[in-house]
């Protein structure tokens, strides 16, 4: 535990680049007292309207909250939602020089209408096509110019088109040539893109879907594991082991909800880490906290196991808060103590 505290005290010396799908989370909150005469749907009397940076921007916010340096790289449209997102990022002191506008795309927005504590409906504005080559090249140029300023890169893949095969191939080659840590919060359809990164942090469902997708796409029949549902610890171990080897990873950290986490390392070591959550109010954003804290700890000299323990403590804190939340170094140190 003493060593974990030493690592956390180094967080303010690190700087992380987060690249991926930036999202504007919009919340309309109110109450329901009647059903609409126009259709059998509730009428929500709205009384509160808020915006929160989500997706890759939430990962960046987690890192900023832990006192580390942060640079966010992503793509927005040229619309009013882009202006709102940039304004919200400015409020939380996240720089936006790595945010590139593409007039052919919507800024990704998830609008949630909530009555009391119940979500009534969610409306998404997004494009999921891969980025045009011109934007890819601008992003790679930006990262290449600034890579010596960063200790690690996080790829936050929500499947909205920013994380594409060509971009990732260039990023992984660049990171490896500069000996930089590169970690991915994965999208199950894109696992074949991640070969050669340092680590990925899927949840159980993402691992299930990934092993199924990879088995379909791989023509070498290297995947001997045929179970689609990972019900048992042994099935999780077999699936994770195959993906670890297939993608040539240094480690794979599987998040298992109330069962904690399981860390798989290239040397063959498997470690189960029980949850330390005391109460669970809201799990939204917990995966963002895990990838942010795990990568930040690695960049400060932690072993994979030490970084996983710190990420587990951080996740235990944020699920005890309502809404998409972050934690601080002070909270982390107090929880470990």
- Tokens 């299930």 sit at which residue? 208
Crossing angle of helices 56-65 and 286-299, in 10° steps, is: 50
Tell me whether residue 65 is exposed, middle or buried, using C-beta atoms within 10 angstroms of its C-beta: 0 to 12, 13 to 18, 19 or more.
buried
| Helix intervals (H) in 72-127 | 80-91
Catalytic residues, which ones? 288
Dihedral Cα 259, 265, 267, 272, nearest 10 deg: -10
Going across the sheet that includes 42-55, the strands are 42-55, 22-35, 109-115, 118-125
Distance CA 275, CA 260 (A): 4
Those residues with Cβ within 8 angstroms of residue 294's Cβ, 6 or more apart along the chain or in another chain: 183, 199, 201, 253, 307, 308, 310, 311
């Amino acid at each position: 535990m003493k060593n974990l505290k030493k690592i956390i005290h180094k967080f303010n010396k690190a700087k992380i680049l987060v690249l991926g799908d930036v999202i504007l989370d919009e919340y309309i909150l109110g109450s329901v007292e009647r059903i609409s005469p126009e259709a059998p749907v509730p009428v929500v009397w709205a009384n509160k309207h808020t915006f929160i940076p989500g997706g890759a921007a939430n990962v960046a916010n987690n890192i900023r909250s832990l006192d580390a340096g942060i640079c966010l790289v992503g793509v927005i449209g040229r619309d009013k939602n882009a202006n709102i997102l940039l304004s919200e990022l400015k409020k939380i002191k996240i720089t936006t020089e790595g945010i590139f506008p593409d007039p052919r795309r919507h800024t990704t927005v998830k609008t949630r209408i909530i009555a009391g504590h119940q979500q009534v409906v969610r409306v998404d504005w997004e494009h999921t096509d891969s980025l045009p080559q011109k934007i890819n090249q601008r992003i790679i140029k930006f990262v290449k110019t600034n890579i010596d300023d960063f200790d690690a890169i996080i790829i936050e893949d929500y499947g909205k088109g920013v994380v594409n095969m060509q971009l990732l191939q260039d990023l992984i080659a660049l990171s490896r040539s500069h000996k930089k840590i590169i970690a991915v919060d994965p999208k199950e359809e894109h696992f074949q893109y991640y070969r050669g990164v340092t680590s990925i942090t899927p949840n159980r469902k993402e691992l299930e879907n990934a092993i199924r997708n990879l088995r379909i796409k791989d023509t070498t029949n290297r995947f001997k594991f045929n179970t689609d549902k990972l019900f048992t610890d042994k099935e999780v171990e077999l699936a994770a082991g195959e993906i670890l080897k297939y993608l040539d990873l240094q480690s794979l950290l599987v998040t298992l909800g109330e069962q904690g986490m399981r860390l798989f390392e290239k040397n063959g070591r498997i470690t189960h880490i029980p949850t330390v959550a005391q109460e669970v109010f809201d799990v939204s954003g917990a995966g963002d906290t895990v990838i942010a804290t795990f990568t930040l700890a690695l960049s400060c000299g932690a072993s994979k196991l030490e970084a996983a323990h710190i990420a587990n403590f951080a996740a235990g804190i944020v699920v005890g808060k309502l809404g998409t939340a972050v934690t601080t170094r002070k909270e982390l140190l107090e929880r470990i103590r």
